[in-house]
Amino acid sequence: MVEKKTCEVDLGLDIPKDKKCSRCSGSAVIHLPYANKYMCRKHFYSHVEKKFLDTVREFRMVKKNETVALGLSGGKDSTTLLYMLHKLKLKLPYKLIAITLDLGLECDYNKKILDIAGEQCKKLEIPHHIFKLKEDIGYTLEELVEKTKTRNPCSECGVAKRYILNKHAKELGADKLAIAHNLNDTAQTVLMNILRNEPMRLFRYNEPLLDDSKFVTRIKPFLKLPEREIVMYGKLKGLPLLDKKCCPYSTYAFRSYVREEVENLEEKYPGSMFKILNSFLSMQKIFKENNKEEMKMTYCKKCGEPSGAEICKFCSLLERLS
């Protein structure tokens, strides 16, 4: 049986009550160590919303009249992203839909996040499409982990989720697929790819595969926002964010080790996650300019979807399952 751990986010709520915002005389609700600033609720809202909007603009993530499908798990980050993408519709006319993949986990957490996803979409009147992993590949996540005997459930799960979300987003006519990856996730992914010596995977990260009609361009509007700020924002806005039980497999494997290391680094040297992201973006730009051919994807010989290898990871997962 899988060991269940928690994955709480340290919101740093223990800031002294008399601390004032660095920009006004309001009471501080959060301290941002990397900027050495305290912020009141109002200034914190505008800080988060500006970061989000700047990222959407910088990477031209959403265009007028496009259809954006959000991969909505119902967890903290995607629930907050749903709220912010909904808010974005006030500034830019576009269509937002949500796609939830039910992994079939038999735990309270799974049921709760599915409920949250459904309730929030209903409240914001966003079309919500739910698909079951079992119906797409014939197995729930637990069955998949059992069957593949994997020591790295997140990797297998990630492959399946990526492929299935792309497939359904495409079927639903989406132009973009929004993923709630935050700054912490990005810093972890960059380091993991370096430590695993997977430079091509690294350079393709966050790279929109434009002009490839087979792939719905993935966008990450939280790319520059630390997880802690997303959760704090969502909580202050009264969103139903679960802060304790995560997926039972989340503490497995390499990512959880790297996650801890990145958190320690950030605590000791605030701003490290931004430095990792910015170094990566600069290196990616140089690499892209000099290696246009290498950046192109090939197509899987089995399913015809874009792939970095002859057989895509999803097809090789299906082979192992059959």
By CB under 6 A, residue 153 contacts ligand SF4 = yes
Map residues 42-61 to x or -, x wherever contact with Zn ion holds by CB under 5 A. -x------------------
Q: What is the greatest pairwise CA distance in the chain?
A: 63
Spatial distance between the Cα atoms of 322 and 316, rounded to a whole number of angstroms: 10
Question: Does 9 contact ligand SF4 by CB under 6 A?
Answer: no
R_g (Cα) of the chain, nearest Å: 20
Residues 237-266 that bind ligand SF4 (CB under 6 A): 247, 249-250
Q: Could you give the CA distance from residue 19 to residue 36 in angstroms, rounded to a whole number? A: 13
CB of 295 to ligand SF4, least distance (A): 26
- Determine if 158 is a binding residue for ligand SF4 (CB under 6 A): yes
Does the footprint of ligand SF4 cover residue 221 (CB under 6 A)?
Answer: no
CB burial of 56-79 (b: ≥16 within 10 Å; e: otherwise) equals beebebbeeebbbbbbbbbbbbbb
| Size of the residue set binding ligand SF4 (CB under 6 A) | 8
| 312 contacts Zn ion (rule: CB under 5 A) | yes
CB of 6 to ligand SF4, least distance (A): 13
313 binds Zn ion (CB under 5 A): no
Residues 6 or more apart whose CB falls under 8 angstroms from that of 301 comprise 310, 311
Q: Amino acid letter at 136?
A: D
The answer to whether residue 109 forms part of the interface with ligand SF4 (CB under 6 A) is no
DSSP 49-100: HHHHHHHHHHTT---TT-EEEEE--SSHHHHHHHHHHHHHTTTS--EEEEEE
Per-residue x/- marks for Zn ion, 22-41, CB under 5 A? -xx-x-------------x-
> Closer CB to ligand SF4, residue 79 or residue 284?
79
* Beta bridge partners of residue 6, listed in sequence order: 245
Contacting residues toward Zn ion, per CB under 5 A: 21, 23-24, 26, 40, 43, 300, 302-303, 312, 315
